[in-house]
Structure 1
Amino acid sequence: MKSLINRAIEEFLRATYGEDLVQSVADEEAVAVGRLAPLGAGFGTGALERAAFRLSKPLPEMFEDLGGWMTRIEPVRRLLRFSGRDFKDFLLRLEELPGRAHLVLPDLEVPRLQVEAEDQSVWLVMLEPDPVWQHLLVGLIRGMADDYGALCLISVEGLSIRIDIWDEQFFEGRIFSLQGAQLSGAVSS
């Protein structure tokens, strides 16, 4: 499990910030442990901390960006899109996220969540506080708002994440089909 998470962090850094940053973070890890380590061996939350320091970026923002990046990975996006027909429905079903994640990655410990809704606001309360997960979830929610085409304001308030939905159809969201990716304009031979 740890190697899968480390690999995801490495790929996030590579896709978002480029190979030079990935290599410099790997080199710093090699110096820290006093030996050459294979690429990916030192990638974990420590790699995000080193990358955040190099980029002069707050670590919570790096976790949010990682969560947003994860929504662009098609299997993750599909798993999340199965959670609701529209953005608000998706939010209201986030309590199911730990169970869904457990089906795919049994060793992944996702904190239990409680969802509370009032009018156009949804509160996501972490029943097992974890600042890393809190910021990852903010990024996931931000990415899924874009995926659904929703306009919202997301804020962290203590142990809660507040989502104020202003317009669920602000722009056209990404196409989603239960049948998977569909080819458009395919050339037949």
Structure 2
Amino acid sequence: MFVGGEVIVHGVVNKALERFTIDTYGFGLWQKVVSACLHAVAFYEAMLCYPDQDSYALLNQLSRILNKPNADILEDMGTYLVVHRNQDGVRRLLRFGGVDFRDFLLSLNEFNARIDLIMPDLNLPQINVVCGAKNQISIRLAPSWSEFTYLCIGILHAMADDYGALIRLAHFADTGSAVIQITLVDDRFAVAQGFKLAARGPSNG
């Protein structure tokens, strides 16, 4: 959302960066990141919104401390959102998309609508999935969050592993949009991770 010419970032973005840093590198490193940013706070509220410069400051400081490019950190964060036990809700939301990796990719055409039902203020870049040659599928991302491309790359690699698929992935810019091109080498390369449609509830016995 835009307010007075300034991008307002949904708190779930900062919260994800906070949890990724703490779970991956420890709370001490997150404290170093926060202390180096002028307006940062130790704990973010997922349902609030924050100025975009706060998010960039957090990411840039994490990049500086780890001596890693922002793109690499965001790709790692995308993987974290799928594989870490504290983020099982994200994995479940994504696995609802299909019974195999190809179905999952095609379901991303409806991903923005699904997210809008849950968090209408998140304003993710519009995702458009296009089938190409026999084993190629392209994902076009509207040019609103340039960093979102690298987060998606991490998510896609992790989801391919989750489904047991072997893929090749490339990305490039095209008329202002980002395009992620996936080649599905083998959709049954390995055994898929277990997944049940219904989450296990508390025992009544």
TM-score, length-normalised on structure 1? 0.85
Match 2:187 to one of 155, 168, 175: 168
Q: Which runs of 5+ in 1 are unaligned?
A: none
1:145 aligns with 160
More strand by share: 2
Q: How far apart in 2 are the matches of 1:71 and 1:157?
A: 23
Match 1:40 to one of 33, 43, 50: 43
Contact 1:67 1:137 in 2 (8 A): yes
Q: How far apart in 1 are the matches of 2:55 and 2:191?
A: 35
TM-score, length-normalised on structure 2? 0.79
Contact 1:13 1:22 in 2 (8 A): yes
Q: What amino acid is the match of 1:87?
A: F
1:52 aligns with 63
Task: Give runs of aligned pairs for residues 128-139 of structure 1, distance below 5 A.
Answer: 128-139=143-154
Match 1:97 to one of 95, 107, 111: 111
Per-residue CA deviations over 1:123-168 (Å, capped at 9, x if unaligned) read 1112345311111111111111111111111111222001111111
Between 1-10 and 64-73, report the one with greater CA deviation: 1-10
- State whether structure 2 residue 172 is matched by structure 1 residue 157: yes
Q: How far apart in 2 are the matches of 1:94 and 1:181?
A: 25
Q: How far apart in 1 are the matches of 2:180 and 2:125?
A: 14
Q: How far apart in 2 are the matches of 1:57 and 1:129?
A: 23
1:18 aligns with 26
Contact 1:26 1:40 in 2 (8 A): no
1:181 is displaced (CA, Å) by 4.1
How many residues were matched structurally?
Answer: 180
Q: How far apart in 2 are the matches of 1:22 and 1:3?
A: 17
Per-residue CA deviations over 1:35-72 (Å, capped at 9, x if unaligned) read xx641359733212111111111101111111111113
Per-residue CA deviations over 1:55-94 (Å, capped at 9, x if unaligned) read 1111011111111111131111111111111001111121
- State whether structure 2 residue 135 is matched by structure 1 residue 124: no
Q: Which runs of 5+ in 2 are unaligned?
A: 1-8, 45-49
Contact 1:98 1:110 in 2 (8 A): yes
Q: How far apart in 2 are the matches of 1:23 and 1:79?
A: 30
Q: What amino acid is the match of 1:121?
A: Q
Contact 2:10 2:121 in 1 (8 A): no
Q: How far apart in 2 are the matches of 1:38 and 1:69?
A: 22
Q: What amino acid is the match of 1:89?
A: D
Q: What amino acid is the match of 2:137?
A: V
Q: What amino acid is the match of 2:17?
A: I
1:4 is displaced (CA, Å) by 2.9
